[in-house]
Amino acid sequence: MAQKNSADVPFKIGEVEYTLRFSLKAQLALKDQWGLEKDDDVQKRMQSLETGDVVDVLWAALRSHHPDVDRDAVIDLLDDAEQEDFEVAMASVISGAMPPRSEGASEKKPKSRPKN
């Protein structure tokens, strides 16, 4: 589920500034768009996004502040966006949507290979 206070993330394309928010509305829109049944499936799918998925995530993140922007308009926006600015904005909005790690959780370290 979306965090209680999903952060607004500014995203500027040319002279126009948009506001991204990965809210509950955005997550439900993605769930419907992707034909998923469980809320957790949205988070799982976001772990490895295909190009079309990126368009969907941006479209969903725009819905709170820019409900008139449809999926085709998002593709046009991406064509006009600076790639680095887009990547930073998407990373910010996606990281704001991910459930926080539980305290005390440690990252799993890869197992070392036995030496021959």
User: What is the pLDDT tens value at each position of the chain, 116 positions in all?
Assistant: 444 456 788 888 878 899 989 888 999 999 999 999 998 999 899 888 888 998 999 999 999 999 999 999 999 888 887 777 777 777 777 776 555 444 444 444 445 555 55
In-domain check, residue 72: yes
| Residue 63, CA distances (Å) to 16, 21, 68, 104, 109 in order | 16, 8, 8, 35, 38
When divided into structural domains, the chain yields a total of 1
In a domain, 26, yes or no: yes
Q: Identify the three-state secondary structure at position 35.
A: coil
Q: Quick check: is 62 in a domain?
A: yes
Classify residue 110: in a domain, yes or no: no
Question: Is 102 domain-assigned?
Answer: no
In a domain, 2, yes or no: no
Length of the chain: 116
> Within a domain: residue 68?
yes
In a domain, 111, yes or no: no
Domain limits at 47? Answer: 9-97
